[in-house]
Amino acid sequence: MAASFGFLWWQTGVIYQIYPRSFQDTNADGVGDLKGIESRLDYLASLGVDAIWISPIYPSPMADFGYDVADYCDIDARFGGLADFDSLLAQAHARGLRLLLDFVPNHTSDRHPWFVESRASRNNPKRDWYIWRDPAPDGWPPNNWISDFGGPAWEWDEATRQYYYHAFLKQQPDLNWRNPAVRAAMYDVMRFWFDRGVDGLRIDVLWHLVKAADFPDNPPNPAWQPALGDMHRVLQLHSTDQPEVHAIAADMRAIADSYGSGGRGDRVLIGEIYLPVDRLLHYYGRERAEVHLPFNFQLIDAPWQARALATLIADYEAALPPDAWPNWVLGNHDRPRVAARLGQAQAGVAAMLLLTLRGTPTLYYADELGLSDVAIPPAQVQDPRGLREPTLALGRDPVRTPMPWDGSENAGFTAARPWLPLHADWPVRNVARMAQEPHSILALYRRLLAARRAHPALAIGDFALLDAEGDILAYQRRFGAERLIVALNLGGNLQRLELPDWASDCRVLLSTLAHAALVEDRAVLLRADEGVILMANNQNSEG
């Protein structure tokens, strides 16, 4: 953003998530690495994003591809080393790009030295760093809690005759955040990376950190069906979202703010929190400030219907605490891609929605290419969740496939066999090819990101829904004298939107389609699957 108008970079900016295994390989092992990300920084800067968030790159046995951390203060050799990270950070900053890391505080790898000590004996000083419990009177696990990857969340340790708790894989034991020593150690991890210069942390499964102290059974889920997966058989009433987690989030915020300029929050904290909105918003903080951006995932699961989305957006805006900054997400490394959910025709409309709503948007790598989910042959499935419940199509491999850069072998991603297969249409759906096509979805993303920079109303302006009917979702963005209308046709038929009086004489600033929509008789005619940004003719043109 050329001018911040007193807003912080993470409020005016756009975040781009990189899944490092799949972005760019430079050492010909089929897996992406830090040097690969550094080699593509010019692309990211030219795309128009403001920050990159990198999924875990810490040393790990890779049972869950980096979310099983064996050392929080180093880099896995598959990705490079600390010197490579420092170079990437310096080169990102040289291009005006911020860099965020994934922080995984809920659990470690079972090979982390802390857990190795913890399971050594019941009287080991680090025993209480993890969650150990005696069996139930019948000898079975202490309660009915279920792993998010299916099956019991308790693993029996024969040597010490107790169970340990794991919300995910058995190779990912949960830390005991009620232990002050654990909190101090993890806060030191945050300081290690902030001292190194990172601009923020995305906090993995923040709402999982604290469990009910007496470990009661979770209630059964009355709406459970086998298609939902084993984890949903019970409601996670006692195993997540406990009141004590908010003091921890506030401590984390205080650490982040201590690195800012005058406590202004230059270092951003983003919380991964899958909860209903009324509980999600508590993570902004009530008595003390907590995370800057509790991730808002509503668009991922929402029905793609204009009236439903209008209600969702209005309710979220109305529920935000005072001074809380909104944020929006359309995809990530765990959920089906936008183009897979909505189809190619609506993927451009979704891009316009994401990049013109009030708040901070997060893009997932290759969504700017319209990449869809990739069918993974059974013999090539890598994701542990997909391997554990293969019939339920819960695997996340389809959304983690390699970034296609050009038409050369393996799409320019690697000189070796990629760790996951490429999408079938990579010879035409790649950066180099689509960059030459003036009406590709990549070109659309670039125009949208440029419009956010040129028009403060789109990045930081006020938001108000406009009256619309049928498949049209329409809203106004306003900052100072600048007033813009965003009109989105979420359907496959021609739609008409009556314009307010102030916009009766307006023009199309940007369309998702090749030719501008027709504006006539105080209305705009939206073609099937079209989104437009409108500007009154008496306002400044795009800079």
Q: Is 482 a catalytic residue?
A: no
Is residue 454 assigned to a domain?
no
Q: What is the pLDDT of residue 520?
A: 87
Domain extent, residue 512, equals: 463-536
**What residues contact residue 540 under an 8 Å CB cut-off, 6+ apart?**
482
Is residue 222 assigned to a domain?
no
Which CATH number covers residue 486? 2.60.40.1180
Which CATH number covers residue 118? 3.90.400.10
Of 536, 538, 509, 515, nearest to 527 by C-alpha is: 515
Give the separation between CA 377 and CA 369, rounded to whole angstroms.
Answer: 23
Amino acid in position 487: A
Is residue 453 assigned to a domain?
no
Are residues 30 and 136 located together in one domain of the fold? no
Are residues 100 and 63 located together in one domain of the fold? yes
Is residue 372 assigned to a domain?
yes
Q: What is the pLDDT of residue 539?
A: 66
Tens of pLDDT along the chain (543 residues) come to 445 788 999 999 999 999 999 999 999 999 999 999 999 999 999 999 999 999 999 999 999 999 999 999 999 999 999 999 999 999 999 999 999 999 999 999 999 999 999 999 999 999 999 999 999 999 999 999 999 998 999 999 999 999 999 999 999 999 999 999 999 999 999 999 999 999 999 999 999 999 999 999 999 999 999 888 888 999 999 999 999 999 999 999 999 999 976 555 699 999 999 999 999 999 999 999 999 999 999 999 999 999 999 999 999 999 999 999 999 999 999 999 999 999 999 999 999 999 999 999 999 999 999 999 999 999 999 999 889 878 777 899 999 999 999 999 999 999 999 999 999 999 999 999 999 999 999 999 999 999 999 999 999 999 999 999 999 999 999 999 999 999 999 999 999 999 999 988 899 999 999 987 889 889 999 999 999 999 988 765 443
Which sign, positive or negative, has the C-alpha torsion 518, 523, 526, 530? positive
Cβ atoms within 10 Å, residue 486: 23
Domain boundary among 388, 418, 447: 447
Are residues 339 and 258 located together in one domain of the fold? yes
Is residue 122 assigned to a domain?
yes
Are residues 100 and 121 located together in one domain of the fold? no
Are residues 294 and 397 located together in one domain of the fold? yes
Which CATH number covers residue 257? 3.20.20.80
Give the separation between CA 235 and CA 239, rounded to whole angstroms.
Answer: 9
Are residues 268 and 292 located together in one domain of the fold? yes
Are residues 478 and 364 located together in one domain of the fold? no
Amino acid in position 463: F
Catalytic residue among 230, 272, 383, 529: 272
Is residue 171 assigned to a domain?
no
The region, left, alpha or beta by phi > 0 then psi within -120 to 50, assigned to residue 76 is: beta
Burial of 264 (0-12, 13-18, 19+ CB in 10 A): exposed
Are residues 326 and 368 located together in one domain of the fold? yes
Domain boundary among 389, 422, 447: 447
Are residues 57 and 92 located together in one domain of the fold? yes
Are residues 310 and 423 located together in one domain of the fold? yes
Cα–Cα distances in angstroms (integers) from residue 411 to residues 22, 28, 40, in the given order: 12, 13, 14
Number of domains making up the chain: 3
Cα–Cα distances in angstroms (integers) from residue 385 to residues 82, 252, 392, 506, in the given order: 30, 30, 10, 51
Catalytic residue among 102, 204, 230, 368: 204
Domain boundary among 447, 476, 503: 447
Give the separation between CA 145 and CA 237, rounded to whole angstroms.
Answer: 10
Q: Is 272 a catalytic residue?
A: yes
Are residues 289 and 320 located together in one domain of the fold? yes
Is residue 145 assigned to a domain?
yes
Are residues 184 and 296 located together in one domain of the fold? yes
Is residue 194 assigned to a domain?
yes
Are 499 and 485 contacting, i.e. CB atoms less than 8 angstroms apart?
A: yes
